[in-house]
Amino acid sequence: MAFDLDKLIRENIKRIVPYSSARSEYSGEARIFLDANENAFGPPVGSEFSRYPDPNQSELKNRLAEVTGVRSSQIFVGNGSDEAIDLLIRTLCRPGIDEIMICPPTYGMYEIAAATNDIGVRSVTLTSSFSVDVETVLAATTPQTKIVFLCSPNNPTGNCLPSQNILDTIAGFDGIVVVDEAYIHYADELSMVSRLDDYPNLVVLQTFSKAWGLAGLRIGLAFASEALIATLNKIKPPYNVSQAAQEIALKALDRRDLFEQAIARTKEQRRFLESALVRFRCVEKIYPSDANFILVRVSDATGLYEYLLKNCIVVRDRSRARLCEQCLRITVGTEEENKELLLTIEKYETSTVY
């Protein structure tokens, strides 16, 4: 497939000269900063956040480059992955003309980001085993289809897409393929980040919101070719990642031991939940998970959902999603939380007449 990024990027985006923020215009040894209209007398609380953050997130990107084995110029840091998804769509898709392709059931934000930008959405449902029907996906693309979104491990189904499916889609498509790896750290599959140099049309999304445990900080990552990353950086809001977020993410990266410990505990609890859930009469199917949640088909999803909610336990009712009829998506909790969940389902079963 002939891939030409320059042809793919919208003309108006190509014409943009990047906004030059105060802090990125000078070079040399600065000591007194009277360039950005910050308050020299400081905030009412603390003072570590009185200055604008580094718009290039250089320190964080350099550390991420070490950790992931890519160049820091191949990394975009965003205010959550959601910002990367939105910027990718705005970079490549012309409102009212272009479209994206998604493979439902999948993460809802691709569609929302497309809709807010007046971008059409084509969809090819996953197969019954939740893999990608590559031929059908490729055949359903049009010259206006600029991005195919694949999610692996997929939300809400929990499985990794077969890596050959992903590679065939990338190789067979002349637009961008985004592989959303929000849950990759829980999976045995390798990240597609190592394939970036083989595929100029590949974008990999990761996040600090899941295995890194920092959802409240809002840090999402996009890994891609230097040319595409440079374009995302050009159009992002200059200070899109806060100082606090950059600092805490750096600290987190230094505690890989604790990160891996939490992943191990999550997987152990996932196995525990799977083996316990299987014994309930109301549980009809437990889908295999490579993530920190489990998709479960039950006899009455809405009934169980509401019963759990009455007992102050909230899970996700996915029963309206394609291929997910009567399915709940349950996040793996702590040992105590999972035990309470199981006790509550047991109570539900004894109080429900079949």
What is the distance between the alpha carbons of residues 221 and 250, in angstroms, rounded to a whole number?
A: 14
What is the distance between the alpha carbons of residues 230 and 61, in angstroms, rounded to a whole number?
A: 13
Residues of this chain, 100-129, that bind ligand PLP according to CB under 6 A: 107
Considering the rule CB under 6 A, would residue 290 count as an interface residue with ligand PLP? Answer: no
Q: Of the candidates 284, 209, 286, which has an alpha carbon nearest to the alpha carbon of residue 248?
A: 209
Residue 107 or 305: which CB sits closer to ligand PLP? 107
Residue 179 or 296: which CB sits closer to ligand PLP? 179
What is the distance between the alpha carbons of residues 15 and 231, in angstroms, rounded to a whole number?
A: 11
Residue 86 or 99: which CB sits closer to ligand PLP? 86
Coil, strand or helix at 320: coil
Binder to ligand PLP among 60, 88, 113, 182 (CB under 6 A)?
182
The CA distances from residue 189 to 50, 61, 153, 160, 205, in Å, are 42, 24, 9, 7, 15
How long a stretch of residues is the chain? 354
Of the ranges 6-14, 112-120, 163-171, 209-217, which one interacts with ligand PLP (CB under 6 A)? 209-217
Please give the DSSP secondary-structure letter assigned to residue 153: S
Residue 22 or 112: which CB sits closer to ligand PLP? 112
For residue 296, the Cα-to-chain-centroid distance in whole angstroms is 22
Q: Give the CB-nearest residue to ligand PLP.
A: 80
CB of 205 to ligand PLP, least distance (A): 6
Considering the rule CB under 6 A, would residue 86 count as an interface residue with ligand PLP? Answer: no
CB of 182 to ligand PLP, least distance (A): 4
Considering the rule CB under 6 A, would residue 180 count as an interface residue with ligand PLP? Answer: yes
Considering the rule CB under 6 A, would residue 152 count as an interface residue with ligand PLP? Answer: no
Considering the rule CB under 6 A, would residue 203 count as an interface residue with ligand PLP? Answer: no
Which tokens belong to 81?
């992955």
Considering the rule CB under 6 A, would residue 157 count as an interface residue with ligand PLP? Answer: no
Which tokens belong to 113?
């980001």
Which tokens belong to 325?
């009829």
Q: What are phi and psi of 152, to 5 degrees?
A: -150, 115
Binder to ligand PLP among 64, 75, 151, 196 (CB under 6 A)?
151
CB of 82 to ligand PLP, least distance (A): 4
Considering the rule CB under 6 A, would residue 130 count as an interface residue with ligand PLP? Answer: no
Q: What is the 3-state secondary structure (H, E, C) of 64-115?
A: HHHHHCCCHHHEEEECCHHHHHHHHHHHHCCCCCCEEEECCCCCCHHHHHHH
Which tokens belong to 315?
């899970």
Considering the rule CB under 6 A, would residue 209 count as an interface residue with ligand PLP? Answer: yes
Of the ranges 75-83, 114-122, 282-290, 346-354, which one interacts with ligand PLP (CB under 6 A)? 75-83
What is the distance between the alpha carbons of residues 270 and 291, in angstroms, rounded to a whole number?
A: 9
Residue 130 or 307: which CB sits closer to ligand PLP? 130
Considering the rule CB under 6 A, would residue 207 count as an interface residue with ligand PLP? Answer: yes
Q: What are phi and psi of 40, to 5 degrees?
A: -65, -20
Q: Which residues bind ligand PLP (CB under 6 A)?
A: 80-82, 107, 151, 155, 180, 182, 207, 209-210, 215, 220
